[in-house]
């Protein structure tokens, strides 16, 4: 029996949690161990005792896993930006994919589901947008610009980050001295984004804010379809941070939507048209819905500058009751794509079946809320038919995932047992 402070000698780690902790077992009880990876044999100390599992810290690695590697970042142990640099890239992707597919197939009807190979790309210098923290530390009164420490509000000062693009690293180098002069005890955010037409920033000072407003509008080019698209976006707004994976993700979404020229497609949480505009190149009519007016206006501007007259964008609260909305009430769509934030689309999923789309493609950065929403779509006659993991954020515990749901015209009864895919 374990209690708090119990020492576990020679504990074998044979799994990885969704948040990057090693998984071991002692006397039939599951132990989640910080800083351990599958294949390790460790000495662990119980820090929190629960009825069904315990949490522990790794005190010593007796035998390191073959998949354990040396982190390539000099501040990895302090910085909270990455969580998995001590695990090989192949193992990271294996466990991310395994955890997603296992969680999915144990929670929803996956009898007809085909799993796609994990989508992968570069693992360094891939991040084209970052948010830094600027503050004078209360502990030592030193001004710092960087990322929050693990489980702390203290800031790790950085000059270079190996997961940021070289352009962003150069921008940090050139602007750091000036930024540190603006630091105070109040936490300030500094956002940097690399666009095709340069580096754009949002700085905390009034003067810098005015400079930002006077900058040209940033844009990136999409090559996911035969005709490239120019996509403008607000400098302080959301953008898929991994350019190469974004291209692959769009291509897969277009494939899974199974588009035909005569289709009418609805894109929910459409942003500036990252998915909407590539879809509009292939179908008769496309509608994009977004909650922020500035994004609706930018998306409309993007449609115009790319000469796509068959797409329309509207502002809509997708977390409120959607059935009275003009774009929803008495409408019928052949295909639906949705890409919500981490909170998912629970209320929307309860009524989405009324639109009678034959295929829904759901892109998510949170597998838990995705699965919750799939359960609501099952009640309306949809069945999971494809699923895949996208390693959008290498060396972190975060993933992007995508599923395809097909309409069966009848609600699905929960089976007595769930099949589990082998990976």
For 94, the token pair is 């294996």
Catalytic choice (73, 79, 270, 365): 365
Q: Give, for 311, the enclosing helix (H) or strand (E).
A: strand 311-315
Closest Cα partner for 175 from 190, 153, 156?
190
Contacts of 100 (CB under 8 A, 6+ apart): 367, 387, 389, 399, 401
* Cβ-contact 120, 391 below 8 angstroms: yes
Cβ pair 248, 390 in contact under 8 A: yes
Half-sphere exposure of 75 (CA within 13 A, CB side): 18
Q: Is 16 exposed, middle or buried (0-12, 13-18, 19+ CB in 10 A)?
A: buried
Q: Kindly tell me the number of DSSP H helices and DSSP E strands found in the chain.
A: 8, 20
Query: Which has the closest alpha carbon to 263: 348, 332, 329?
Result: 332
With contact defined as beta carbons under 8 Å apart, do 418 and 387 qualify? no
Instruction: Find the distance separating the first CA and the last CA of the chain, reported in whole Å.
Output: 33
Active site residue 365: yes
Is residue 34 within 8 Å of residue 10, measured between CB atoms? no
Residues classed as catalytic: 365
């Amino acid at each position: 029996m374990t209690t708090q402070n119990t020492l576990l000698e020679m504990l074998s780690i044979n799994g990885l949690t969704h948040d990057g902790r090693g998984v071991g077992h002692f006397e039939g009880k599951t132990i989640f161990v910080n800083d351990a990876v599958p294949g390790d044999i460790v000495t662990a100390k119980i820090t929190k005792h629960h009825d069904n599992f315990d949490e522990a810290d790794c005190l010593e690695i007796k035998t390191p896993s073959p998949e354990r590697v040396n982190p390539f970042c000099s501040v990895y142990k302090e910085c909270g930006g990455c969580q998995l640099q001590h695990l090989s890239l192949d193992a990271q992707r294996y466990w991310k994919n395994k955890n997603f597919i296992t969680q999915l197939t144990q929670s929803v009807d996956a009898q007809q589901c085909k799993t796609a190979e994990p989508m992968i790309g570069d693992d360094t210098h891939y991040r084209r947008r970052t948010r830094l923290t600027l503050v004078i530390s209360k502990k030592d009164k030193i001004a710092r610009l960087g990322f929050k420490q693990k489980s702390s509000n203290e800031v790790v000062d950085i000059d270079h980050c190996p997961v940021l693009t070289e352009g962003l690293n150069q921008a940090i180098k050139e602007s750091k001295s000036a930024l540190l002069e603006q630091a105070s005890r109040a936490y300030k955010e500094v956002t940097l984004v690399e666009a095709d037409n340069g580096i754009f920033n949002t700085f905390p000072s009034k003067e810098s804010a005015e400079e930002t407003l006077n900058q040209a509008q940033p844009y990136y080019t999409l090559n996911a379809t035969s005709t490239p698209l120019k996509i403008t976006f607000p400098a302080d707004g959301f953008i898929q941070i991994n350019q190469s994976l974004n291209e692959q993700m769009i291509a897969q979404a277009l494939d899974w939507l199974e588009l035909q020229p005569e289709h009418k497609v609805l894109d929910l949480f459409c942003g500036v048209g990252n998915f909407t505009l590539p879809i509009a190149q292939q179908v008769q009519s496309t509608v994009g819905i977004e909650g922020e007016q500035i994004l609706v206006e930018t998306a409309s501007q993007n449609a115009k500058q790319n000469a796509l007259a068959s797409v329309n964008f509207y502002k809509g609260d997708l977390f409120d009751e959607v059935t009275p909305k003009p774009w929803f009430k008495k409408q019928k769509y052949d295909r639906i794509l949705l890409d919500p934030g981490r909170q998912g689309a629970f209320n929307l999923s309860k009524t989405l079946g009324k639109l009678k789309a034959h295929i829904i493609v759901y892109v998510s950065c949170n597998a838990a809320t995705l699965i919750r929403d799939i359960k609501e779509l099952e009640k309306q006659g949809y069945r999971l038919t494809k699923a895949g993991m996208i390693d959008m954020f290498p060396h972190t515990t975060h993933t992007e995932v995508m599923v395809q749901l097909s309409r069966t015209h009848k609600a699905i009864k929960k089976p007595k047992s769930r099949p589990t895919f082998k990976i």
